[in-house]
Amino acid sequence: MKLFLIRHSEAIDYETETVKSDDYRFITPKGRKASLTVFKKLKDEFLELDKIFSSPLIRSVQTAEILASTLKFRFDVEVNNELHISSSYADVPAFVKRNSIFGSVALVGHNPMMELLLKEFSGKLIPFAKSGVACVDFDLTKLTAKFLWYMNPKTFELTK
């Protein structure tokens, strides 16, 4: 399975009249632009994407929706609690295995989970910037993966 690990876009880091909780932080215009640029540059990589899963937090859902919109994705983004910021990354491999009917899946979530998943799956340790995307070839039997690449949203360079 081709697995895309995506860290959400830059979000507000301050409290507003209506945002009093981390759960409700929304992405900034700069974050929208960064994700849109990254997803456009990677559009060909996502051609066979079957499913987009997102953490339930607003900033992740918004990032996942930008991905879906950029790709003209024909299915809904599905919110998943295993990707919540307070969830354990150890629960994600079983979640991915339960979705083995898909050949290509995007997981949109938070750090440190994205970094931990990449390290756990492939042994590769890369600091995930906001709007960063890593791609791995996930082995559903061994629950391990081969690292393929990481897109740095600051330089738009692929690390292989």
Give the rounded distance of the alpha carbon of 95 from its chain centre: 15
pLDDT in tens, 52-104: 999 999 999 999 999 999 999 999 999 999 999 999 999 999 999 999 999 99
Looking at residues 126-152, what average pLDDT do you find?
Answer: 96
Q: What is the DSSP string of 82-120?
A: GGSTTS-GGGHHHHHHHTTT-SEEEEEE-TTHHHHHHHH
**Closest to 133 in 3D by CA, of 46, 75, 71:** 46
In our burial notation (b when 16+ CB lie closer than 10 A, e otherwise), range 1-11 reads bbbbbbbbbbb
What CATH number has the domain bearing residue 32?
A: 3.40.50.1240
Q: What pTM did the predictor assign?
A: 0.96
pLDDT digits (tens, 9 = 90+) for 6-55: 999 999 987 777 788 888 899 999 999 999 999 999 999 999 999 999 99
Question: How many independent structural domains does the chain possess?
Answer: 1
Which backbone phi and psi does 109 adopt, to 5 degrees? -155, -145
Domain encompassing residue 61: 2-159
